[in-house]
Amino acid sequence: MLAQAMKKQIRALNVQRQKRIVADTDRLVKLVADLNAGINSREPSRLTADEMQQLAEIEKLARSIREKMTTQVAPPMPTDEPRLFQRRSY
């Protein structure tokens, strides 16, 4: 019974994580589109300070999304008892 409750909670946490990933990805797409539109509306030879700040925010958000995608909530793994190594006498 406890195992089923734990599985249900883990599933719910993973669903929440997935929703955050989708929301962050939508925000990332919007930021990139806004930056691209700003750069295309003028001569793109140099980036402004505001555009550099937007790039930093995009990079930070992309790293956050990547981290969230590589981690997931999982049940604790059972650990083996520590094994003692015996010295061999030769």
pLDDT at 23 over 90: yes
- Cα separation, 90 vs 72, in Å, equals 48
The model carries a pTM of: 0.73
89 in any annotated domain: no
C-alpha torsion angle, residues 43, 45, 51, 54 (rounded to 10): 110
79 in any annotated domain: no
83 in any annotated domain: no
81 in any annotated domain: no
9 in any annotated domain: yes
Better-predicted residue by pLDDT, 76 or 28: 28
pLDDT at 13 over 80: yes
Domain span at 21: 2-70
